Each structure stands twice: as C-alpha cells, then as structure tokens.
Amino acid sequence: MNSVLAARGLVKTYGDVHALAGVDIDIKAGDVLAVVGPSGSGKTTLLHVLSGILRADGGEVFLDGRAIGELNETGRSALRRTAFGFVFQSGMLVAELTAEENAALPMLLAGGSREESLGAARLWLARLGLQGLEKRLPSQLSGGQAQRVAIARALAHRPRVIFADEPTGALDTRTGQEMMTALLQAAEETGAAVVIVTHDKAIADRALRVVEIQDGRIAQGINTGVSA
Ligand code: ADP
Ligand code: MG
C-alpha cells in the first residue's frame, strides 16, 4: 500500500548459509527504519538485496510497485544511481576526488553535467556544515566530516531511499549522533526514506521503527510496516 520499497519472501543463500530466509518488509516515504541484530544475522545482505546490489534467490523487491528483479544489471545499476543513496561505515569516499567531486559522483555517473552535479553537491555540503571544505581530499577531513560528505553524496541526487550500513560504526558516540542528526534532517528535507543498519541502540532509538533480524528472518519488529 503506497510503499516506496517493499519486499516479499526474500531469500538469499550462500552455499548452505541462509543469509535471508524469507523477509517481508514495507518502507514508505519518510520512513526511518533501523535494522538491528547480531553479527552475521543477514543485515548487510538485506540492505544489498533491497537496494539491488545483490539479486535475491527467491522473493521479490518492489520499488514503487515495480519488481526490480526483472531489471538486468544495467537497469539495477541505473536504479542505484538515481533512486537510491548509500552511506557506508567510514565513508568509503574516493581518495583521489575532492569532497565536492565525491558528493557529485552519483549524479556524474548517472550522466549529469559537471556544472549541475557539482552545484547540487556544493549546496548539500554547505547545508551539512562543510562550507569551505569543498576542495579537500578525504585524507584532509575528519571522520565526522567525511561522513557528512558521504551523506551529501547519498542525498544530492534526491533518492527515494537512503541505505546506511553501520554509518556511525567508526565514529565516537557524539560524532555518531551528530551524523545521525544530519542524516535525518537531510532525509526529511528531501522526503527520502532511510534504512539504517546499526549495532548501536542509541542510534536505533532515533529511528521511527526498528526491526530485528535473526538468522535471516525478522525476529521481532515494533512494526515491519507490512499490513495484512
Ligand atoms: P550482518 O550484516 O548481519 O553481519 P551479513 O548479511 O553480512 O550479516 O551475513 C549473513 C550471513 O551470510 C553470514 O553467515 C555471512 O557469513 C554470510 N555471507 C555474507 N556474505 C557472504 C558471501 N559473499 N559469501 C558467503 N557467505 C556470505
Ligand atoms: Mg553487516
């Protein structure tokens, strides 16, 4: 029902490991969903299957009601650059590119003009408090600053859903909370939904909903969003 992103019966296996053993989930615009659970429970796999990085072995993911499993690799790759944004642990910025080039990268890869892409990137860097740091390389940024560049990169192309995998994992508590505030504000401004994997209860507490994954299944959810 009006889900931006929905999954039904997701299965992903690696040999005899059932990384995902039948996951249903519904994510609406503006949702902030935290995915928690023990190490190895399938959180990263879930994020990768939801975002089309990995193809499910069973079940289906729907973006705006459209099955993404039907897309070929080129189509899924285009989807990742336009409909989705990604924030990973410790930024994963391209070391040779400046902050503004890193933030503009998804737009450039999607065929945007350099001028327009860098313009949008600079706007988001400024909104995230990084004005004046646009030309710096990742090695010239603090961990918290690098994560803000990663947020700008995830948001500047105005995706429908932002996926974040342990984005505060390499930050101290306070910087992690500040990063979370920046992420949630930016997502709210663009109307993007956020799916955030975290080990940190204080980070999960800031989500609107929490689902716990155990052995590739949703063990417990305050609300998985799935209605009968
Ligand atoms: P989490 O992010 O919750 O720590 P993952 O989704 O990374 O868990 O992994 C879920 C399970 O799938 C684990 O048992 C892990 O060892 C296994 N797994 C993940 N990726 C691979 C892979 N590329 N090859 C083989 N097994 C994998
Ligand atoms: Mg993981």
Domain boundaries, the chain: 5-225
Which band of pLDDT confidence, cut at 50, 70 and 90, is reported for residue 227?
Answer: low
Measure 11 CA to ligand 1 centroid, in angstroms.
13
The rounded Å distance from CA 123 to ligand 2 centre is: 31
- As a CATH number, domain 5-225 is 3.40.50.300
Looking from the CA of residue 12, the nearest atom of ligand 1 is: 12
**Residue 38 CA: which ligand is closest?**
1
Tracing tokens 């989807």 back to the chain, one arrives at 79
For ligand 1, whether the C-beta of 41 sits within 6 Å is yes
Q: Find, among 116, 128, 115, the residue nearest to 155 by Cα.
A: 128
Q: 126 pLDDT exceeds 60?
A: yes
Report d(CA 178, CA 148) in Å as an integer: 10
pLDDT tens readout for residues 191-203: 999 999 998 899 9
For the segment 68-85, the average pLDDT, to the nearest whole number, is: 88
Strands (E), the chain: 5-14, 17-27, 32-36, 58-63, 66-67, 84-88, 161-165, 193-197, 209-214, 217-221
Ligand 2 centre from 113 Cα, in Å? 34
Give percent above pLDDT 70 in the chain.
Answer: 95
Q: Average pLDDT over the chain, rounded to whole?
A: 91
